[in-house]
Structure 1
Amino acid sequence: MKAIIYRDNGSPEVLQLVDRDLPVPGPGEVRVRVAVSGVNPTDWQARSGVAHAKLFTEVTPHLDGAGVIDAVGEGVEQSRAGQRVWLYMAAAGRPTGTAAEYTVVPAERAVPLPDDAGFDLGASLGVPALTAHRALTVAENGPSRLRPGALDDQVVLAAGGAGAVGHAVIQLARWAGATVISTVSGPEKARLATAAGAHHVINYREGDPATEIHKIAPNGVDIIAEVALGANLALDLAVLRTRGTIATYANDGGKPVELNVAQNMVLNTRLQFLVLYTAGLQARAAAVEDVAAAVRDGALPVGEEHGLPLLRLPLHRTADAHRAVESGAVGKVLVDITS
């Protein structure tokens, strides 16, 4: 089979297209014929060594993907063979991710994908959707699970709504009944956030965004899903309600975070940092179940008409896919395995 591998941390040039033997699923595992592989910032960060040192002699990257189970290991129901699935955390703690024609994963990391949901959608879930779910379920007295109605009467602010996680925050929050505000940096990203389903979109580079947000949410925002904490913290605190939550999953731009302790004490701010790897099995399992339910409801579509443009590249151009994500490409970068 064809696979992308790297043996040393470094730039995208370390990625190589090679031939490898077909993997065999072990107990509790399934083998998936991968159709589409999804690329996330954590993938290039792992490749470059920014996230962590390389754990294996040889690594096939990418956490997310979608395809069809073609073989099962001991202890897995044989009926799963032939099942369409989306994959998450395929390369987490393992040397083989989804940048290959076939990959082997624990059976629970291969989630059934409805027949009416394309592989593009399946490969776009994983890290973005599960991260978004976590951001929306960590608030004090808020729901730990998402379903229609779970966020009724809540106001959610999705910072950077044109990004993959921001897009998923908008869609999941709207599915769960929230009023959704998104902040963006310009008109093109505003168009995408609106297409994703945001009720209100505000350009934070124009006028007084805090005043505009307070017009929508006079009592303040309940949950803020934050992608650039250092750059946006002042605005976040200006619009957060008392005992509100800022759930931060990134610090795009790298601006240092400076906290006014007294201001946050008065607000009783909940500042929640999150990453899937250490979120815990229970939180991840709940997220998988709820995201799967949202997919069945048709609540998480992708594509430019739904606010998430798709940038597609073939397997042999995986290095270019990494460059695109690393340079901040708008939308979702996908690698077509079978092209």
Structure 2
Amino acid sequence: MALFVANAAVSLRRGRLPGRDPWQANTLEWSTASPPEPFDFARLPAVASRDPLWGPKVANAREPAALATAWRQTTATSALEARPELFLRMPGDSIWPALAAAALLALFGAILFRFLVLVPFGLALLFALVARWLWPSPETPGAHVGARPGPRELPVGRAPGWWGMALVVATDATIFALLLASYGYLGFAGNGPWPPPGSERPQLAIPLVGTVVLLASSAPIAWAEAGIRRGDVRRLAIGIGIAMALSAGFVVLQAIELTRKAFAPQTNAYGSAFFTITSFHGLHVIVALLLGAVLLVRAWRGGLDRERHLAVQNVALYWHFVGAVWIVILAVLYLSPQVTG
């Protein structure tokens, strides 16, 4: 401790600033300024070995970053070599998250104190605030992650946004699998017939028509996605509009099917499982309709083109998943009772 205090006193009185890497060290932390800047590197260096400072010259921390300056952006690199892979847009200051949180608090307050008439308005307000929060601002460089102003693009694979949607789909698939497994367990664990007495065997006419309508909606979505990759915004709008009309038709058919049932969710375990699974899937179709509406608005406002179409890819992935999972639901809830009932 005494040696440290003495060294600090001498350095403070007559010491010189050491500058960068006074020890000729081999690791990156010695390449930054002393005293340190508020940041580490303005331009992230590519690391080719375990001793980067003993190899080719590392980029100076004061060099221009080659990133956008109108918004917050950073470079994502590989884990081992710090090789630049893509540019990520970072969130900036915004009032919308706080407003969305307040709307969510008010929504739960309305549910808690049983002001249920306010719940639909609270949901609509929450959706509007979250949509405004996530809405891309005009200066966004493009939805093709890896692009930046200038002639060069970083070699990237799938964008982080696509992987985020893939994780959402995987999570949803797990939830549906658990619900269907619970339905199967209730059927096999019971001693009586399944569906039980008082719950008629599902009719197939409306569900089969709805299946055709819902699966058909994937075709115009794929057509719209292919169109926007070529910069055809009109084709995108037409395709999404057709897909939304077909999906809305499925929702109507499913509502007719459920309201004509002779049993209710509270009738027995079968009714509870049946309505939970079908209603949960119906909610996903409604979410797909909302996402389609958002894409139409963005297309109308010029926010989607040949370079900026990641949102269309994500919605298409979600849309195809909603159709695929319905095939499994149809087989388990509607077709299997025809064989085992």
Please report the TM-score for the alignment, with normalisation by the length of structure 2. Answer: 0.22
Q: Tell which has more relative contact order, 1 or 2 (C-alpha 8 A, sep 6+).
A: 1
Which structure shows the bigger proportion of residues in strand conformation? 1
